[in-house]
């Protein structure tokens, strides 16, 4: 089973690419954002977050977005609680899905693979890391059309994430997503072929 991490800034197209892998390549999708939200239901983790952020009334997404995305320091505090727990679940899931032998590809859809330092695991395990890039204007337009966020909130989140140029040094492949869905699918077809070739020869 080939393990591939897909990362990129807000509205770069991670969910779209994950869905293409799922529908066209029978890939298993591990959505790190959804897994993190699920972990917020864990009493121990929820209590730790509320202790870390006394101003939080609860760990629901609206309350969290107002406090956590306010600055980089708050985001780092939250990530230091959530990311280790998500990574533990990820390792368990890779092992479980690998043993089942039903999926040829395991996709990890995660925005902060590089910023969080999780990329180090990818290097050690032989997984591949794809960085999705899009122009800032395109990403803002996408985020405005799909999320219940203001343009100011979107730009704040962008500012808290590393710039694409900084992240490129950590990725195995760069996938530009500024065109049509057909163009994106064509790029993925080429990329999957290359990854499979590399997997055979490595």
* CATH number for the domain harbouring residue 185: 3.40.50.300
Give the residue numbers spanning the domain of 178: 2-201
Question: Can you tell me the mean pLDDT for 66-73?
Answer: 78
pLDDT in tens, 56-68: 888 887 788 778 7
Q: How far apart are CA 167 and CA 131, in angstroms?
A: 8
Give the global pTM. 0.88
Our count of domains for the chain comes to: 1
Q: Which two tokens stand for residue 16?
A: 């779209």
* Residue tagged 């977050």 (tokens): 49
């Amino acid at each position: 089973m080939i393990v591939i991490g897909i990362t990129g800034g807000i509205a770069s197209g991670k969910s779209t690419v994950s869905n293409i892998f799922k529908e066209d390549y029978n890939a298993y999708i591990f959505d790190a954002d959804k897994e993190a939200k699920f972990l917020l239901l864990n009493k121990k983790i929820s209590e730790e977050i509320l202790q870390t952020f006394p101003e939080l009334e609860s760990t629901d997404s609206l309350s969290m977005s107002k406090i956590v995305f306010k600055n980089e320091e708050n985001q780092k505090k939250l990530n230091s609680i959530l990311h280790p727990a998500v990574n533990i679940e990820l390792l368990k899931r890779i092992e479980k899905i690998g043993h089942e032998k039903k999926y040829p590809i395991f996709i990890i859809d995660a925005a902060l693979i590089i910023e969080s330092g999780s990329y180090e695991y990818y290097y050690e395990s032989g997984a591949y890391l794809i960085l999705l890039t899009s122009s800032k204007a395109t990403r803002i337009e996408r985020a405005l059309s799909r999320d219940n966020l203001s343009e100011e909130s979107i730009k704040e989140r962008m500012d808290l994430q590393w710039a694409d140029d900084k992240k490129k040094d950590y990725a195995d492949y760069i996938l530009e997503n500024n065109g049509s869905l057909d163009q994106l699918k064509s790029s993925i077809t080429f990329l999957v072929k290359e990854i499979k070739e590399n997997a055979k020869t490595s």
